Structure formats: structure tokens, C-alpha cells
Amino acid sequence: MNKLVVSTAALGAVVAMALPAQAAVQPKWQRVGTDITGGVSGMALVAGAPIGHGRADVLIVRDNKKDGENRISTVRLRPGKAPAVTPLTWKGPLPKDVEALDAVPGRKNHYIALASEGTAYHVTVAGGTATVQGAPVSLPDRKDGDNYESFALFRGSAGKLFAVWATRGKNAEKAVVRTAPATVGKASLRIGTTADQEKFAVPFPNQDEVRHVSDLKVLPNGTVLVSSASDPNDDNGPFSSAVYNAGKLKIKGGHPVLDLKKTGSLRALRRFTKKDDHKVEGIVALANGQAIWGTDDENLGGFVAFDQVPR
């Protein structure tokens, strides 16, 4: 089998996941955690690793809160084999609830992790350790009581870097998606003033506690890919989830502008009902319409699955 090596900078080869019909073949879930400390709350692709059918290396974060509990791990995915999960040591200020992760375009082994209260950590991964670079950074417009589960970086055609993130929302309270210019140095992180924001809500899930944005990623063409989830506030589930093409991030005059879809026009690319019982909180886009979903299923642990998304 030929291997296709895709770097973060080369993700322009990703084909936009466009549209409406849900894929017919259900993905095969693979376990990456066995209990409430083993969920996937965010996920990013490891740049430079081989990618193919059932093949990828990803970095996952876990929303653990106690000292000594794992915050970040690598996961090696290979066809016909169980995932190889390697916990990493977190070095630096310790977040209590890491909920999102994305790779830094153009900087191999550099990532931004986001804690639920809106604090971003620039981390580098090497030799089994994730090291925090510089001081953690608060998101623009962050308020006490906000809850965040998503963060993404997007590099425009002119080379400028932009951050996109969202509050998760709750039932009638819509998520608020924001974007701002960003700068990531070798050991620094800066997120500028919010340039645009939009409210966002999904039609499904529509039961229990609905979290309109449980993760998001921005594809190279500006498509905003969003996962949503519902939680009955019972660590045994059942959970439900969906993944959507939520709209576009556009760059106009060097400034980021959100153009998101209204609730009534959203159609799920993939839907997981309570019968499926998975709470998707981490998403990664690959080439050729492939994606990887990661779940935080509380007492049931964490799972990942490759999927072919309809285009």
C-alpha cells in the first residue's frame, strides 16, 4: 500500500466536505480509553506522519482535572491493529479541563490546546513530553462562566494566521463562534482582538443538554466543520452527536469574516443517535474526504473512528 505523507502546511489537499446526505456505511469505532479519564476531548493530526485508509497519527487531549491524570496522548492508528496510545508528560502550567486541540500550520510539533474556561496553551511535543511555551493566553472576550470546547487555526492564502473558536452553547443558548488574527512564534502565542462573531445552533441533537459546538476545524478552503453533542448529564449516557458543514471562514481585505449557516439550512454530514451512544468532541479532517472522529463517552471511555464523509 502506498503511503501519502501530508504535512500541516500541505493540508490544502484536503477536499471540502460538502454535503447533505449522511454517509451510508457506519464507521468502525476503536477504543483509546477505558473509563471516565480516557475520553477524547480534542484531537489534532500529527504533521508528517503517513496517512492512508485506516492509517494516521493523531494527538488527543483529555478533559481530566486532577493532578496525575493524563492530559495529552499520541495515538498511532494502523489498519488491522488496535490503536497504540502513548500518554505524554505535560510540562508547564497544568490545565484542569483541556477541551480542544489544533496543530499550528507551518510549525511541526507545535499545537494550541484550549481549556474550557477559555485559556489557550501553546505546547510543543518531543521525546514523550508536551511542553508549554510561554504563558497561557486568555481568549478575547472571554467571560466568567463561559464554556469552550473548540479551537482551530487557519492559514489564509496570503500566509496570515487566524484563530476560530466557540462557546459550546446549551439548549436555547446558541454557541458563539468568534475569529481573530493570531501569531504563533517558536515560544509565543498571541490572539488579537475579535474580528467577527456569529451565533450558531444545530437542529440535531435536540434532546437532553444540547452542546451546539463540541469541536470545530477549518478546512484549507475555509469550510468550518463542526461537531455537536448531547449529554443527559449521566456519565453512563446515552449520548448523541452530529457533524456539520457549518459554513465558511472568508478572508476579506486581510480580515477574517464568518459566514455560517442558519439552523434551518444545516444538514448533518454524519449523525449518531442515542442508539449509537457516542459523544463526539474531537474531529480531524484528512485528504480525499476522510475524517477521524473522537469521543468522550464518560464512564464508557474514549473511541476514535475513521469515516468517509459525503461530498
CA distance 247 to 223: 6
- Its domain, for residue 175, covers 34-300
The CATH number covering residue 66 comes to 2.115.10
- How many structural domains are present in the chain? 1
Q: Which residue has the cell 454517509?
A: 23
Residue 24: its pLDDT value, please? 56
Q: Is residue 7 part of a domain?
A: no
Q: pLDDT, tens digit, for every residue of 211-220?
A: 999 999 999 9
> 167: which strand partners?
148
pLDDT-derived band at 10, boundaries 50, 70, 90? very low
Q: pLDDT, tens digit, for every residue of 81-120?
A: 999 999 999 999 999 999 999 999 999 999 999 999 999 9
How many other β-carbons are positioned within 10 Å of the β-carbon of residue 144? 6
Mean pLDDT of 171-190: 97
Q: Is residue 218 part of a domain?
A: yes
The rounded mean pLDDT for the chain is 92
Q: Is residue 17 part of a domain?
A: no
Q: Is residue 219 part of a domain?
A: yes
Q: pLDDT, tens digit, for every residue of 74-83?
A: 999 999 999 9
Residue 310: its pLDDT value, please? 66
Q: Which of 89, 101, 9 is nearest to 60 (CA)?
A: 101
Q: Is residue 22 part of a domain?
A: no
